[in-house]
Amino acid sequence: MLVFGLKNCDTCRKALKSLPDAQLLDVRSDGIPAEVLSQALAEFGDSLVNTRSTTWRNLDDSERARPQLELLEAHPSLMKRPLIVDGETMYLGWTPDTRAALGVA
Protein backbone atom coordinates (compact mmCIF):
# COMPACT_ATOMS: atom_id res chain seq x y z
CA MET A 1 0.00 0.00 0.00
CA LEU A 2 1.33 3.42 -0.97
CA VAL A 3 0.40 6.72 0.62
CA PHE A 4 1.11 9.80 -1.47
CA GLY A 5 1.33 12.88 0.72
CA LEU A 6 3.74 15.08 2.63
CA LYS A 7 5.95 13.82 5.43
CA ASN A 8 5.12 16.86 7.58
CA CYS A 9 1.33 16.67 7.00
CA ASP A 10 -0.57 15.76 10.18
CA THR A 11 -3.31 13.95 8.27
CA CYS A 12 -0.77 11.86 6.36
CA ARG A 13 0.96 10.98 9.62
CA LYS A 14 -2.36 9.85 11.12
CA ALA A 15 -2.98 7.65 8.10
CA LEU A 16 0.50 6.11 8.29
CA LYS A 17 0.13 5.45 12.00
CA SER A 18 -3.10 3.55 11.32
CA LEU A 19 -1.67 1.74 8.29
CA PRO A 20 1.60 0.20 9.53
CA ASP A 21 2.25 -1.67 6.27
CA ALA A 22 1.90 1.47 4.15
CA GLN A 23 4.82 3.32 2.61
CA LEU A 24 4.80 7.13 2.39
CA LEU A 25 5.91 8.75 -0.84
CA ASP A 26 6.48 12.45 -0.25
CA VAL A 27 5.03 14.24 -3.28
CA ARG A 28 7.42 17.18 -2.91
CA SER A 29 10.61 15.12 -2.99
CA ASP A 30 9.47 11.94 -4.80
CA GLY A 31 6.82 13.39 -7.09
CA ILE A 32 3.77 11.46 -8.27
CA PRO A 33 4.10 8.93 -11.10
CA ALA A 34 2.23 10.17 -14.17
CA GLU A 35 0.08 7.04 -14.42
CA VAL A 36 -1.00 7.33 -10.75
CA LEU A 37 -1.80 11.01 -11.18
CA SER A 38 -3.82 10.38 -14.35
CA GLN A 39 -5.76 7.54 -12.74
CA ALA A 40 -6.46 9.61 -9.60
CA LEU A 41 -7.62 12.57 -11.68
CA ALA A 42 -9.94 10.30 -13.68
CA GLU A 43 -11.35 8.80 -10.48
CA PHE A 44 -11.64 11.87 -8.24
CA GLY A 45 -11.88 14.75 -10.73
CA ASP A 46 -11.95 18.26 -9.27
CA SER A 47 -11.73 17.01 -5.69
CA LEU A 48 -8.10 15.95 -6.28
CA VAL A 49 -6.98 19.60 -6.26
CA ASN A 50 -6.95 21.15 -2.79
CA THR A 51 -8.28 24.64 -3.39
CA ARG A 52 -8.05 25.45 0.33
CA SER A 53 -4.26 25.09 0.43
CA THR A 54 -1.69 27.83 0.83
CA THR A 55 -0.17 26.77 -2.49
CA TRP A 56 -3.50 27.36 -4.25
CA ARG A 57 -3.97 30.77 -2.62
CA ASN A 58 -0.49 31.82 -3.80
CA LEU A 59 -1.22 30.97 -7.45
CA ASP A 60 -2.29 33.72 -9.81
CA ASP A 61 -5.39 33.37 -11.98
CA SER A 62 -3.44 32.27 -15.06
CA GLU A 63 -1.83 29.42 -13.09
CA ARG A 64 -5.19 28.34 -11.65
CA ALA A 65 -6.65 28.22 -15.17
CA ARG A 66 -4.12 25.60 -16.31
CA PRO A 67 -5.37 22.02 -16.88
CA GLN A 68 -5.46 20.14 -13.58
CA LEU A 69 -2.95 17.51 -14.69
CA GLU A 70 -0.38 20.19 -15.60
CA LEU A 71 -1.09 22.06 -12.38
CA LEU A 72 -0.57 18.97 -10.21
CA GLU A 73 2.61 18.03 -12.07
CA ALA A 74 4.00 21.52 -11.53
CA HIS A 75 2.75 21.83 -7.94
CA PRO A 76 2.35 18.33 -6.42
CA SER A 77 1.58 19.78 -2.99
CA LEU A 78 -1.74 21.01 -4.46
CA MET A 79 -3.04 17.44 -4.34
CA LYS A 80 -5.53 16.68 -1.60
CA ARG A 81 -3.86 14.37 0.89
CA PRO A 82 -3.39 11.58 1.46
CA LEU A 83 -3.89 9.68 -1.78
CA ILE A 84 -3.83 6.02 -0.79
CA VAL A 85 -3.19 3.39 -3.44
CA ASP A 86 -4.01 -0.16 -2.43
CA GLY A 87 -3.53 -2.39 -5.47
CA GLU A 88 -6.03 -1.16 -8.06
CA THR A 89 -8.10 0.80 -5.53
CA MET A 90 -7.53 4.45 -4.65
CA TYR A 91 -8.75 6.47 -1.69
CA LEU A 92 -8.55 10.24 -1.32
CA GLY A 93 -8.34 11.88 2.07
CA TRP A 94 -8.38 10.36 5.54
CA THR A 95 -12.15 10.47 5.91
CA PRO A 96 -14.40 8.15 7.94
CA ASP A 97 -15.39 6.46 4.66
CA THR A 98 -11.74 5.82 3.76
CA ARG A 99 -10.97 4.47 7.22
CA ALA A 100 -14.02 2.18 7.09
CA ALA A 101 -13.09 0.89 3.62
CA LEU A 102 -9.57 0.11 4.86
CA GLY A 103 -10.86 -1.52 8.05
CA VAL A 104 -9.33 1.08 10.37
CA ALA A 105 -11.28 2.35 13.36
Among 3, 4, 5, 9, the active-site one is: 9
CB 45 within 8 A of CB 37: no
Q: Over its length of 105 residues, how does the chain's per-residue pLDDT go in tens digits?
A: 999 999 999 999 999 999 999 999 999 999 899 999 999 999 999 999 999 989 999 999 999 999 999 999 999 999 999 999 999 999 999 999 999 999 987
- Please tell me whether the overall predicted TM-score, pTM, comes out greater than 0.85 for this model: yes
Is-catalytic flag, 12?
no
- Report pLDDT for 76: 92
